[in-house]
Structure 1
């Protein structure tokens, strides 16, 4: 039987020269859920993400994936297990076509990544899957477009397609709507909802309207520690959460209209 929680942390702590950035965080991400990690600036959200994906090493604590400790593993080992992070930076090759970008990601999944010297015919076997992934993120009409020519929102969709090419079990999204206007935000919300089918998503997100529309469960961090957890209705009504966002008794919605 698969574990109820696909990803857990127990007492996860990160200290930097006496400063505690993440303080004994217990996080449980349920299989099949979209789970958000939110909090005001400096709350420790990105540091937690960096610890989960082993860009940073914990000072103390344990990280479990599918019930097994991955605390001592390296970033590339964790990615091969199916814990894959996207949207932290632009991860596309600007002067390659949209199709070629996804094909490179598929090569990596097959273990022969970046074999640019292979013949075009030998790589065309990947095109059917690449085109399917582009259709999944509404980019099938952009297959031959250079990635650098895509509008910002479409470029983020391409990043999602290249991530999905790695067949993630848990998809970690770092600020997927950062810097976007309303139309692009709506597009990304729809794409994340689609990508979450048959997989688990953990996302850091500043836009609480996005969180309220997408997420099954929310963990709120403040000063590196867990402040509250629950569904959106629960955490948005929590006076401590309001105080953390606004320094007053204002609602969370007012903090992020």
Structure 2
């Protein structure tokens, strides 16, 4: 469990009430009530097509809901735009690494810091004008274990390190709440372990909501888990209760077993 776990009575940072998204008659998110508690690491899990990423897109206003309400610290934010959501401290890290490939790790973090300060990126200015950001940028790189990569072009960094750099650029925006979309997707075991340790470290004093397929990662990190199936909430609780729920086994773990059985049959 997370070292940041709080009591059950802790306040909700983010809530949804009846959150629904339909696309031309298809309901991708169906009447979802979600409550993410202060200081928790909370996971959204479910089989492919369960609606997890669509929920993320609704929360961060990349999609408008068909109906329902989103609240941040008890106040409605449903009508806000994506940039306004980010300014409140809800910052999303994407499934695919979203950093500038031909800039160094240090330069990437400096760009994020400029955004946080409300200034333009100043790509055309002398590098000396950005030197005042170097100390904070280096501190962020150190926080995610990337000090030795400060002067390395991002394109030359291993995949797991790129994802860590993305976390550093997210932290540069001084988030209250981190929304992580598949943070370990496509990683080998060594990189997964490194990212799990990183999430534990950066979650201190923050709240995290993450979409994650790797149940081992979920079991090691998360205080609470919401299981989605066909766009609706199927179950919710800690890892022990959720993993032992027969409905979850059927919808989530059972789907993996069925895929494996099909693979064996076709071999």
* 8 Å Cα contact 2:41/2:207 also seen in 1: yes
1:48-87 mapped onto 2 (5 Å cutoff): 48-87=55-94
CA distance in 2, matches of 1:203, 1:134: 22
Work out whether residues 87 and 160 of structure 1, in 8 Å CA contact, stay in contact via their aligned partners in 2.
no
5+ residue gaps, structure 1, are 251-257
Indicate the residue corresponding to 2:30 in structure 1. 23
CA distance in 2, matches of 1:103, 1:246: 42
* Of 183, 189, 210, the match for 1:203: 210
Aligned equivalent of 1:7, options 14, 17, 20: 14
CA distance in 1, matches of 2:252, 2:16: 24
Indicate conservation of the 8 Å contact 1:236/1:242, yes or no: yes
Task: Give the 4+ runs in structure 1 shifted more than 6 A.
Answer: none
Is residue 119 from structure 1 mapped to residue 121 from structure 2 by the alignment?
A: no
Runs of at least 5 residues in structure 2 that lack an aligned partner in the other structure: 1-9, 258-267
Q: Distance in 1 between matches of 2:31 and 2:50?
A: 13
2:264 aligned residue: none
For residues 4-59 of structure 1, the C-alpha deviation after alignment (integer angstroms, 9 at most, x for no partner) is: 00000000000111111100000000000000000011100010000000010000
Q: What pairs up with 1:118-157 in 2 under 5 angstroms?
A: 118-157=125-164
RMSD between superposed Cα atoms in Å: 1.5
CA distance in 2, matches of 1:181, 1:155: 14
* Contact 1:11/1:24, CA 8 A, preserved across alignment: yes
State the TM-score, normalized to the length of structure 2.
0.91
Please say if residues 95 and 185 of structure 2, whose CA atoms lie closer than 8 Å, have aligned partners that are also in contact. Answer: no
